[in-house]
Structure 1
Amino acid sequence: MSYHNCGPVVVLIVLWCCLLMLYGGHGTFSNLINNLVHVIMYFYYMVAAMGPEYQKYIWWKKHVTTIQLIQFTLVFVHSAQILWTDCGYPRLIGGFLLVHSAIFFGLFTNFYYQTYNRSKAKAVKQE
């Protein structure tokens, strides 16, 4: 079993831990945004898996990646508030979310470049 298959289970466990130990608006924002993005992402995967006749409906793959980049930006900004505002949320968890969202933003930016911008550059060179 790959990590990708475990993703929804991990999200549910993390959400449960946050609600149990770190309840409140600040602690749930990141997970709620993540869950929304995963609904969009898995809807895309579902349509893609329905077969070749549905390929014309998945033109928005690039936009899914853009939504994920927006997600990591929102989580980073939201978590950064903990550094200058004491809202009762553990700063250690906020710091972890800052690092986590920055790493994933970097990884997804690299994926975006490799998948979308690089292929355009190759097409221009071939012309």
Structure 2
Amino acid sequence: VFFVLRKKQSHVSFLHVYHHVNMVVTTWTFLRFIKVQQGAICGALNALIHSIMYSYYFLSALGPHMQKYLWWKKYLTRLQIIQFILGIIYGISLFIYDCEFPRLFTIYMIFDVLLFLYLFLIFYKKTYKDKET
């Protein structure tokens, strides 16, 4: 919504729209039907990454004079990629150790996070790697 209001149509990508729509549906499903503590670790890690991300956005919104302090944007994207890798490992461990977490939802989450990882790797390559060459 903020990208559209600020006329930043280039920021409205499949990755962005899919991520936000998917998170609403997945979180609602989890909180409505599953409600086990195994999801808390993923939520805490996601909150940490988003706190760092929105700190970056806040600083960048202060104006062009802040650009010299915002050299760490690509490392933020790397942190998000690491978050997805950790999420996949965690999901696989939930599946292997057969805890109270529903197996079908575990499989869904593993494939969903794999898709996020794939989309973020494409974004990272397009944004950072292609500009280096």
Q: TM-score, with normalisation over the residues of structure 2?
A: 0.76
Give 1:104's aligned residue.
Answer: 116
Alignment of 1:50-65 (within 5 A): 50-65=62-77
Distance 1:19 1:70 in 2: 25
| C-alpha deviation, 1:98, in angstroms | 0.4
Return 5+ residue gaps in structure 2 as ranges: 5-11
Supply the AA of the counterpart residue of 1:75. Answer: G
Change in Cα spacing, 1:14 to 1:25, as seen in structure 2 (3 Å) is: same
- What amino acid sits opposite 2:57 in the alignment? Y
The structural deviation recorded for 1:67 is 0.3
Q: How many percent identity over aligned positions?
A: 34
Question: 2: CA distance between counterparts of 1:11 and 1:106?
Answer: 16
Deviation readout 1:87-113 (Å, 9 max, x if unpaired): 111011111110111001001111111
- Per-residue CA distance 1:63-93 (angstroms, 9 max, x = gap): 0100000000011110111222111110111
Q: Report 1 or 2 for greater relative contact order, CA contacts < 8 Å, sequence distance ≥ 6.
A: 2
Whichever of the two has the greater Rg, that structure is: 1
Paired positions, count: 119
- 1:77 pairs with 2:77: no
The one-letter amino acid of 1:71's match is Q
| 2:57 match | 45
Q: Residue deviations 1:38-63, cap 9 Å, x none? A: 11111100100100111111110000
> 1:89 is matched with which residue?
101
Gaps of 5+ in 1: 122-127
Q: Could you say what the CA RMSD is over the residues aligned between the two structures, in angstroms?
A: 2.5
Task: Kindly provide the amino acid, as one letter, of the partner of residue 52 in structure 1.
Answer: P
Counterpart of 2:71 in 1: which secondary structure? coil
1:124 equivalent in structure 2: none
For 2:84, what is the secondary structure of its paired residue? helix
TM-score w.r.t. the length of structure 1 is 0.79
